[in-house]
Amino acid sequence: MKGRSQALGIAALLAILVAACEPAQAPTVPTVSLRVAGAPAEATVVIDDTVLGTFDFVAAHGVALPPGKHRITVHATGYFPWDREVEAKLGAGPIRLQVGLTPIPD
């Protein structure tokens, strides 16, 4: 019986250690969804001085913004840049932007 008791004790200790060693869960940060649509697809999207990628990639995936004011810029060679400030408010629903870059005249 002593061997069985020790085995159960060791198994219980291992279960506690495994549970204690699970990866920490990231805290949930509330965000607001930003969705953009428009053209040209190869334009670059910048939010708060951080390049997110091409316009078509960002349009397809969306962006999760933390609450607060954010500067959205879209630019492409041969076009005037598009620049707006938006405010992400919790509970206000997603932010939807229609972006149309204007070609620079020759």
Average pLDDT along the chain: 82
Q: Is 5 exposed, middle or buried (0-12, 13-18, 19+ CB in 10 A)?
A: exposed
Q: Set out the domains of the chain in order of their start, with CATH numbers.
A: 32-100 (2.60.40.1120)
The pTM for the full model equals 0.70
Q: What is the largest CA-CA distance in the chain?
A: 92
Closest to 32 measured CA to CA, from 103, 97, 82, 79: 97
Task: Summarize pLDDT for 28-59 with one digit per residue, the tens.
Answer: 778 999 998 888 989 999 999 999 999 888 88
Query: Which value, to the nearest 10 degrees, does the dihedral of the CA atoms of residues 38, 44, 47, 49 take?
Result: -160
Tokens representing 50? 């951080």
